[in-house]
């Protein structure tokens, strides 16, 4: 396939299809992308992007990696590193050089490579790859501390490892007489200064430029994109791949600024990154030669064992001694170190250059790098979640629900969910409302859910669903719109009027269809209606369906007006009744329904025919009035 337009189209479609399949079947996306790249490239010879793209191949790959690292930097907020700052600093500054030296020794004496290739390979395998770590963290739902450490290490180590490789390569050129040592030292120091200072100044300049309104909203993302590409290219003029450090620091600088439009910029960059990661990994894997892969011998197995089981654990345990981490956290981090795009990309770059200047085992460096990348993706991709479960480092083994608004309705729902062992948290900025929820023994978060603090301290990976249940429909819609991007627009629900079900009199009062969440009830029910129902004695009931007691019997034995809100499947997945394509509950599901109460003795009387339905409703109304009167007396 030599038609570049068709090749780009195939890579794009295959990459996104792989991402969707990974989401659908809950497996690491990189595993599927790796398989697709092998099929397109070495196994079938359908494409060879390195030769097909020609001179554009290297700069395109370098630019794509820079954009990916910048987006990774945008996710790093200094407030998140409070508990792991010492560990992160030691992992980058102590563990990184240790891995470099030990891996180089393994490549030299086990892989039987030359010293130049061994040093470059050791530097490349310092990186742990945010393009692999990020999807794995989302999939594994780790607790905050180990997740923060792995994320920071992956993003910071990528440019550091690339710089180690560049320094090794330049040092080899010095030994060959192509450069002098003074030139290398001056160039390296200048590149580091430019990278660090340029990243900080570039990030702050863009923040001020955007904050003062010098660019319209529709141009902010394109300007940001252009600046990232430009900063990467400019720094690379001093030292190859030093631009990766520049854009990473620029991303971190902007992530920790108070820029109102940062969320929109981050969403745009995340979309671009998903496209680039999907396509880039296929391109890099498809560019491998089958002969290179077949050249791997028994030495690579021993090398892999040393890298995974000896070098990484030693470096992590030595560097994190006294860093405030538990043993099980250090054990997890010492095992999880998948390599990704940067290692493969830089290995291809230097492998080609070394081969051109006559280094015999340059191709073996590429093969070894690919072997480590493939092995770590497969081993770490499929072992992270089980290992985290064994070590009790997962946030929860069940999907949770975040409820915004501590009303009597939401507290009653939370108590019923908690009784079914569903993780649930109620968030509210009103202390008296939160106090009521705490008295009901429901987990709470006191504060404004739309604040920056909420995004830091409320780990959203704990929640698969959210319900906005305050008395303000517009606020509910705002909350659902804000959190829908992270939790999923199909998994955020709200009480009252929504974009998909309006209770208003006309289009003038209707919200735009892109705002808000799904209605919690169909047809939508307002906050006041639900409040009145609670006052009238309505309750949440949990009922498990069995072969003998199915959905039809459920409705036959419930008072009129009972509405299923959600059901919990045997797999612990939660399905909301109002969700699109929810279907119906099946045998084994536990239905959480909201409906009028029916006392057991009334149920028995109705069955015997000694009490009419009307009399039962009147009796419930009388008891409710007595309860309200008692509460009023207690308040007075």
pLDDT digits (tens, 9 = 90+) for 519-549: 898 888 889 999 999 998 899 999 999 998 9
- Does residue 607 register a pLDDT over 50? no
- Give the pLDDT confidence of 556-582 residue by residue, as tens digits: 888 888 999 999 998 888 999 888 878
3-state secondary structure of 110: coil
pLDDT in tens, 463-491: 889 999 998 888 888 888 888 877 777 88
From residue 349, alpha-carbon distances to 59, 197, 231, 388, 546 in Å are 10, 26, 20, 35, 62
Alpha-carbon distance values, 572 to 312, 410, 416, 461, 464 (Å): 36, 21, 15, 16, 12
**pLDDT band with cut points at 50, 70 and 90 for residue 204:** very high
Q: Which of 1-10, 375-384, 421-430 has the lowest mean pLDDT?
A: 1-10
- Taking every pair of Cα atoms in the chain, the longest distance, rounded to a whole number of angstroms, is 105
Tokens of 628: 């309200």
For 493, list phi and psi in degrees, rounded to 5. Answer: -130, 155
Helix (H, G, I), strand (E, B) or coil at 219: helix
Nearest by Cα to 90 from 188, 166, 167, 156: 156
CA 174 to CA 178: how far, in whole Å? 6
H/E element, 463: strand 463-468
Distance CA 367, CA 296 (A): 7
CATH architecture of the region 53-390: Up-down Bundle (1.20)
Pairing of strands 590-595, 539-544: antiparallel
Most confident of 273-277, 439-443, 506-510, 625-629: 439-443
- Higher model confidence: residue 527 or residue 29? 527
Answer whether 623's CB lies under 8 Å from 631's CB: no
pLDDT tens, residue by residue, 304-350: 999 999 999 999 999 999 888 899 999 999 999 888 777 877 787 77
Residue 609 has pLDDT above 70, yes or no: no
pTM: 0.67
Q: Which fold has domain 400-543?
A: Rossmann fold (3.40.50)
Tokens representing 27 are: 């497996």
Task: Report d(CA 573, CA 62) in Å as an integer.
Answer: 41
Which residues, 6+ apart, have CB-to-CB distance to 497 below 8 Å? 473, 503, 504, 511, 524, 526
- The phi and psi torsions of 219 (rounded to 5 degrees) equal -100, -10
**Mean pLDDT taken over the chain:** 81
- 133 pLDDT tier (thresholds 50, 70, 90): confident
Domain boundaries, the chain: 53-390, 400-543
CA distance 494 to 107: 58
Phi/psi zone of residue 456: left (φ > 0), alpha (ψ -120 to 50 degrees), beta? alpha
Which stretch of 63-77, 90-104, 541-555 has the lowest confidence by average pLDDT? 63-77
Let me know if 151 is exposed, middle or buried by CB neighbors in 10 A (0-12, 13-18, 19+). buried
Residue 439, pLDDT > 50, answer yes
User: For residue 273, what pLDDT is reported?
Assistant: 78
Q: To 10 degrees, what angle do helices 327-335 and 144-176 make?
A: 40
- pLDDT at 5 exceeding the cut of 70: yes
Q: Based on C-alpha coordinates, what's the Rg of the chain?
A: 29
Cα separation values, 19 from 66, 277, 566, Å: 21, 10, 28
Helices (H), 256-297: 262-286, 290-294
CA-nearest of 536, 164, 529, 95 to 342 is 164
């Amino acid at each position: 396939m030599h038609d570049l337009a068709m090749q780009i189209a195939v890579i794009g479609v295959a990459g996104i299809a792989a991402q969707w399949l990974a989401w659908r079947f809950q497996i690491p996306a990189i595993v599927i992308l790796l398989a697709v790249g092998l099929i397109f490239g070495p196994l079938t010879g359908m494409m060879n992007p390195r030769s097909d793209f020609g001179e554009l191949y290297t700069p395109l790959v370098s630019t794509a990696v820079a954009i990916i690292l910048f987006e990774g930097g945008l996710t790093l907020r200094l407030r998140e590193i409070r508990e792991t700052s010492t560990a992160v600093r030691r992992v980058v500054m102590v563990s990184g050089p240790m891995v470099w030296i030990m891996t180089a020794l393994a490549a030299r004496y086990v892989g039987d490579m030359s010293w130049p290739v061994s040093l470059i390979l050791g530097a490349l395998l310092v990186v742990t790859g945010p393009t692999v770590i990020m999807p794995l963290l989302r999939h594994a739902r780790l607790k905050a501390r180990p997740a923060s450490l792995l994320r920071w290490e992956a993003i910071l180590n990528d440019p550091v490892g690339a710089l180690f490789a560049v320094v090794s390569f330049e040092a080899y050129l010095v030994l060959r007489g192509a450069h002098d040592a003074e030139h290398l030292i001056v160039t390296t120091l200048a590149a580091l200064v430019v990278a660090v200072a340029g990243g900080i100044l570039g990030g702050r300049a863009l923040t001020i430029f955007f904050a003062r309104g010098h660019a319209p909203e529709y141009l902010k993302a394109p300007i940001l994109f252009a600046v990232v590409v430009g900063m990467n290219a400019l720094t690379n003029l001093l030292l190859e791949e030093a631009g990766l450090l520049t854009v990473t620091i620029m991303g971190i600088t902007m992530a920790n600024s108070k820029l109102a439009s940062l969320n929109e910029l981050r969403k745009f960059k995340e979309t671009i990154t998903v496209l680039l990661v999907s396509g880039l990994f296929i391109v890099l894997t498809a560019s491998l030669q089958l002969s290179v892969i077949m050249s791997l011998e028994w030495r690579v197995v021993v090398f892999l064992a040393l890298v995974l089981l000896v070098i990484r654990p030693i470096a992590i345990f030595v560097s994190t001694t006294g860093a405030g981490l538990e043993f099980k956290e250090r054990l997890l981090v010492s095992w999880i170190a998948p390599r990704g795009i940067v290692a493969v990309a830089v290995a291809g770059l230097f492998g080609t250059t070394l081969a051109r200047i006559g280094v015999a085992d340059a191709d073996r460096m590429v093969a070894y790098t690919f072997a480590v990348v493939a092995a770590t993706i497969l081993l770490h991709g499929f072992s992270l979640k089980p290992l985290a479960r064994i070590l009790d480092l997962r946030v929860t083994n069940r999907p949770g629900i975040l409820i915004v608004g501590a009303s009597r309705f939401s507290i009653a729902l939370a108590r019923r969910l908690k009784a079914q062992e569903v993780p649930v948290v109620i968030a509210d900025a009103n202390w008296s409302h939160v106090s009521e929820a705490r008295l009901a023994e429901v987990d709470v978060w006191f504060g404004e859910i739309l604040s920056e603090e909420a995004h830091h301290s409320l780990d959203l990976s704990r929640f698969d669903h959210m319900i906005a249940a305050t008395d303000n429909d517009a606020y509910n819609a705002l909350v659902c719109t804000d959190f829908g991007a992270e939790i999923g627009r199909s998994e955020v629900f709200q009480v009252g009027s929504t974009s998909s079900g309006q209770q208003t009199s006309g289009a003038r009062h209707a919200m735009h269809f892109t705002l808000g969440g799904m209605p919690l009830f169909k047809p939508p029910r307002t906050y006041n209606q639900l409040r009145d129902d609670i006052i009238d004695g309505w309750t949440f009931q949990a009922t498990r369906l069995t072969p003998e007691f199915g959905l039809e019997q459920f409705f036959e034995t419930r008072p009129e007006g009972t509405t299923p809100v959600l059901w919990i499947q045997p797999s612990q997945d939660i399905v909301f009744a109002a969700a699109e394509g929810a279907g119906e509950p099946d045998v084994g599901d536990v239905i959480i329904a909201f409906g009028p109460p029916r006392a057991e003795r009334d149920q028995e009387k109705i069955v015997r025919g000694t009490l009419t339905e009307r009399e039962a409703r009147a009796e419930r109304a009388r008891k409710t009035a007595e309860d309200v009167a008692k509460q009023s007396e207690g308040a007075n």
